[in-house]
């Protein structure tokens, strides 16, 4: 368990079994700003950094969970997962890496759970190449209680 200021974050990791894709699963109390956002920042073994976030257009208390899955090139592992220090409202969140893509291709799937299925959302990914020279933002609109997929390909 990690404590930062007055917020308490509980984190655990589970290494996936061989054959199901290598990855990490973390449960986290995500932080949301007035826009109701959650933001894991994932550093991968390839040096690529991906920040995942979703803007949900409702009060943070209305969101019951945010589940992110990042599909990355085969052989990729997670070096670290961090969260911005300026997040102020807790939303339960999970993150999982599955290393099953080819080349520089990445895909995210985001599932936001909420009792009100009419809440609109936009899911984003900001991917930065290992050199730090290339950073691209990808986005896709959706609704809560629906799987939102977002494909990404980083230039070499």
pLDDT digits (tens, 9 = 90+) for 40-75: 899 999 999 999 998 888 888 888 999 999 999 999
pLDDT at 35 > cutoff 70: no
Q: Retrieve residue 73's tokens.
A: 């090139």
Backbone torsions φ then ψ of 118, nearest 5 degrees: -90, 0
pLDDT at 17 > cutoff 80: no
Beta-strand pair 89-101/65-73: parallel
pTM of model > 0.85:
no
User: Residue 145's pLDDT band (boundaries 50, 70, 90)?
Assistant: very high
Mean pLDDT of 91-111: 91
Range of the domain at 78: 2-153
Backbone torsions φ then ψ of 62, nearest 5 degrees: -80, -15
pLDDT at 19 > cutoff 60: no
User: Burial, 53: exposed, middle or buried (Cβ in 10 Å; 0-12, 13-18, 19+)?
Assistant: buried
More confident residue, 38 or 60: 60
Please state the domain count of the chain: 1
What confidence score (pLDDT) does residue 9 get? 28
């Amino acid at each position: 368990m990690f404590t930062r200021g007055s917020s308490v974050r509980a984190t655990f990791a589970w290494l996936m079994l061989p054959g199901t894709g290598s990855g990490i699963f973390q449960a986290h109390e995500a932080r949301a700003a007035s826009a109701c956002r959650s933001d894991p920042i994932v550093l991968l073994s390839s040096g690529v950094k991906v920040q995942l976030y979703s803007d949900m257009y409702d009060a943070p208390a209305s969101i019951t969970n945010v589940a992110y899955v990042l599909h990355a090139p085969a052989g990729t592992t997670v070096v670290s997962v961090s969260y911005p220090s300026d997040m102020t409202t807790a939303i339960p969140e999970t993150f999982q890496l599955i290393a099953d893509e080819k080349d520089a291709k990445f895909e995210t799937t985001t599932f936001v759970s909420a009792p009100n299925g009419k809440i609109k959302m936009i899911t984003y990914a900001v991917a930065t190449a290992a050199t730090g020279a290339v950073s691209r933002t990808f986005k896709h609109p959706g609704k809560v209680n629906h799987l939102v997929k977002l494909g990404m390909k980083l230039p070499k």
